[in-house]
Structure 1
Amino acid sequence: MTPKVNKQAVAQAFGRAAQSYNHHAQLQRLCGDRLMSLTDVSGYRQVLDAGCGSGWFSQRWRERGFQVTALDLSPAMLAEAESGQVAHHYLQGDIDALPLPDGAVDLCWSNLAVQWCDDLQHAVNQLCRVTRAGGKVLFSTLAADSLSEVRAAWRQLDAAQHVNHFLSVEQIAGACAGKNLQLSQQRLTLAFPDVLAAMRSLKGIGATHLHQGRSAGLMTRQRLQQLEQFWPRDGRGCLLSYHLVFGVISL
């Protein structure tokens, strides 16, 4: 069982990353570009960007002529999006309890956000609820073997959990059971010059919050050197691998 998500702590983690988010969000952009390419959305007009972050894809949807509502759990992240005028409407809210009426939008878009929800099935049902009949829900998330390098390196140093648990592909599919779903996958590996850069990339997108809490203690220079020793790498540098899962639900 996934621990109940501390939404306030998640919002704070992403809020701290708000101003640096776009600088570090290579994964989000690559993932979102793939998700955008998976289905035809011509004829649709209203889109909800659920978990908009700093609004990179809200802006993309707006440039394509959509009426965009940007929603995020983090007030600081939403303020960053609003400062860029990326959308037409801004809502602070939770995907687990979307503050919109049934059938409010033609298209629901959620790029790498639903892994922060309490229950994926409930989150998907919420996205479907606010999407009109004939509309579509597009979402992406991380599967269980993502960030294997982080686990492998830390496993040499202690027994603590340093990466959140992600659902398997089968569990993700099961959360969408009974829906007209197209599911696809992609494995993506990013490389960084050193461990510090890899960890900064995770922190820079707010992805360092652990649901079960973090053990006390600072990241010392010695600890960093030990991680550097054990962190998987190739000729490009220190690696961070992601198993991306994309869902398109037609309503």
Structure 2
Amino acid sequence: MRQTVDKQAIARAFGRAARCYNHYAELQRRSGEQLAFYARRQTGQKVLDAGCGSGWFSQRWRRAGNHVTALDLSAEMLMQARSQHCADHYEIGDIEALPFTEPRFDLCWSNLAVQWCSDLSLAMTELRRVTLPGGQVLFSTLAAGSLNELHSAWHALDLPAPVNRFLSVESINEAGQSLRAQLYPQTLTLGFPDVLSALRSLKGIGATHLHQGRSGTVLSRRQLQHLALYWPRDSRGFLLSYHLVYGVIDCE
């Protein structure tokens, strides 16, 4: 369940996307709204938004009447969140080594961030460690099979798809077993008017960082046209499917 992760490279990738992130973050918003469904309380809590990005859900929790600490690996993302007054406090930090010495939050929330961790079990344990008795850890992540349309289209070019592999649902379940994490799967499929729009949606949320390093491949117009021939689509357009897993840990 461990993977080799360059945290600084990830921070740089998301930093480059900070200004345009909200424009492309439909998946994050839809995932977060579903994740919020599992919260026992919606107001009056001390909330940690771990991997806050540009602060969309930090702001949501704050406006609902919570005291919010926004944490992210990327200084640029935190600057974006701060510029919008999304939280009460801001911390640069790593979910796998949270900068808090004791439990202090009623809700530790992490929407589509833990898939960037090197050890999912450690990330869950850290979120649980800083959660007060009676509180909750809520997280969402991506599972194996996500972006299968991208893999399918790239296979037609005889090139590896420029996307990371994700843990299986079974591996995610194993990572959270000792914490008695309850998992809830969902598949979301987004449609785009053309291939470039689909690719830009990934770049716009910083998701183009590859753990194995950049491929260096720049697609020609002809290759883009070839991708369009093989990219799965329907009435919604060119498709990108995400296999989401929502995790709930109740802290006694």
TM-score tier after normalising by the smaller chain length: over 0.9
- Partner deviation per Cα, 1:75-129 (whole Å, 9 max, x = no partner): 1111000000000000011111111122021110000000000010000001001
- Relative to structure 1, is the Cα distance of residues 171 and 49 closer, same or farther in structure 2, using a 3 angstrom cutoff? same
Give the corresponding residue for 2:206.
Answer: 206
Judging changes above 3 Å, is the alpha-carbon distance between structure 1 residues 180 and 124 closer, same or farther for their aligned structure 2 residues?
A: same
Deviations 1:187-221 (A, max 9, x none): 11000000000000011000111100122232222
Letter in 2 for 1:222: R
Q: Residues 162-173 of structure 1: matches in 2 within 5 Å?
A: 162-173=162-173
- CA contact under 8 A between 2:42 and 2:61: conserved in structure 1? no
Quote how far apart the aligned CAs of 1:228 are: 1.1
In structure 2, the partner of 1:125 is: 125
State the match for 2:239 in structure 1: 239
Contact 1:44 1:106 in 2 (8 A): no
Whether 2:65 is the aligned partner of 1:65: answer yes
Partner letter of residue 168 of structure 2? S
CA contact under 8 A between 1:3 and 1:212: conserved in structure 2?
no
Aligned length, in residue pairs: 251
Matched position secondary structure for 1:8: helix
Contact 1:44–1:107 (CA under 8 A) maintained in structure 2: no
Percent of pairs identical after alignment?
60
Runs of 4+ in 1 over 6 A off after TM superposition: none
TM-score using structure 2 length: 0.96
RMSD (CA atoms) = 1.3
Write the letter of the residue equivalent to 1:27: L
5+ residue gaps, structure 1, are none
Aligned to 1:215: 215
Q: CA deviation at 1:159?
A: 4.0
Q: Identify the range of structure 1 (212-221 vs 29-38) with the bigger mean alpha-carbon deviation.
A: 212-221
TM-score by length of 1: 0.97
Q: Which amino acid aligns with 2:47?
A: V
Distance in 2 between the 1:87 and 1:41 partners? 18
Specify the code of the residue in structure 2 equivalent to 1:160. Answer: P
Separation (CA, whole Å) in 2 of partners of 1:151 and 1:210: 14
CA deviation after TM superposition for structure 1 residue 158, in Å: 2.1
Which residue pairs with 2:150 in the alignment?
150
CA separation of 1:200/1:161 partners in 2, compared to 1, >3 Å: closer, same or farther?
closer
Determine if the alignment matches structure 1 residue 89 to structure 2 residue 89: yes
Partner of 1:197: 197
* Equivalent in the alignment of 1:105: 105
Task: Summarize deviations over 1:147-176 as a string: whole Å, max 9, x none.
Answer: 000100111112424221101111111101
